[in-house]
Amino acid sequence: RRFVTVLFCDIVGSSGLASRLDPEDYAALLAAYRRCCAETVARHGGHMVQYVGDGVLAAFGYPRAFGDDAERAVDCGLDLGRAIAGLARSAQLPGANELAARIGIEAGLVIAGQITADRAAALDSLVGTALNTAARLQQLAPAFGVLIGEVAHELVSTTFSCEALPQSLLTRLEPPTQRAFRVHARSVDGHVALKAGRAALVGRDAELRRITERWHSAQ
């Protein structure tokens, strides 16, 4: 059981693109796209979970957690949009100028590890609703854009400039998502603001007693 932030990136109009290209040309373009995704995810400390056709699934917080995994995932999503746009402009590959992708991100509790059925085993699999939400959100994202779910937004809302999506758009998803947000950029100057709420401290009873005693002494 792990709390992770998952990122799902998918090529826009991949079926049409594949039908217009020779299979070898499309394979070369797909390889360049996957390499771009893998390098960007690794740069932000994420973990590539699997490739699903032309889709890419990455996890932040598993197998290694940094504590700011949601922010890393959103930073990665923004960088990924820019990196793929750059690939579309510069790659000397047939169909590269048509390449576009969209990104969906959500956080939540998952089951992580090996999932075995009969003799087939999927390594480093993730199971949880966050994956489905991230995959659905990317369907609504604009080309090279990033959409995040409600849980991810709670974790990064003070760090990134976000815009809530109209409810009329969210009703297109099946099942519908309550709230979703488009991420535009990091907040001004890229500084991380203090969280508005207060989170509970876990396993710090002794430290809290000591700091309380010293505060009373200082008074």
Contact between 118 and 26 under an 8 Å Cβ cutoff? The reply is no
Structure tokens at 141: 């994202």
Tens of each residue's pLDDT in the chain, 219 residues: 899 999 999 999 998 999 999 999 999 999 999 999 999 999 999 999 988 888 999 999 999 999 999 999 999 999 999 999 999 999 889 999 999 999 999 999 998 877 666 555 455 578 888 998 999 899 999 999 999 999 999 999 989 999 998 877 776 666 666 789 999 998 765 444 454 455 566 678 899 899 999 999 999
Burial classification of residue 104, based on how many CB atoms lie within 10 Å of its CB (0-12 exposed, 13-18 middle, 19 or more buried): buried
Interhelix angle 69-90/23-43, nearest 10 degrees: 140
Alpha-helical (H) ranges within the chain are 14-20, 23-43, 69-90, 129-140, 150-156, 167-170, 205-218
Contact between 58 and 46 under an 8 Å Cβ cutoff? The reply is yes
Instruction: Give the per-residue pLDDT at 173.
Output: 67
Residues composing the chain: 219
Instruction: Give the per-residue pLDDT at 115.
Output: 66
Contact between 149 and 106 under an 8 Å Cβ cutoff? The reply is yes
User: Could you give the 3-state DSSP secondary structure of residue 66?
Assistant: coil
Instruction: Give the per-residue pLDDT at 172.
Output: 64
Instruction: Give the per-residue pLDDT at 53.
Output: 81
Phi and psi, residue 215, nearest 5°: -70, -40
Matching residue, tokens 């969280």: 195
Model confidence, pTM:
0.81
Contact between 74 and 16 under an 8 Å Cβ cutoff? The reply is no
Q: Which of 40, 60, 33 is nearest to 49 (CA)?
A: 60
Instruction: Give the per-residue pLDDT at 190.
Output: 47
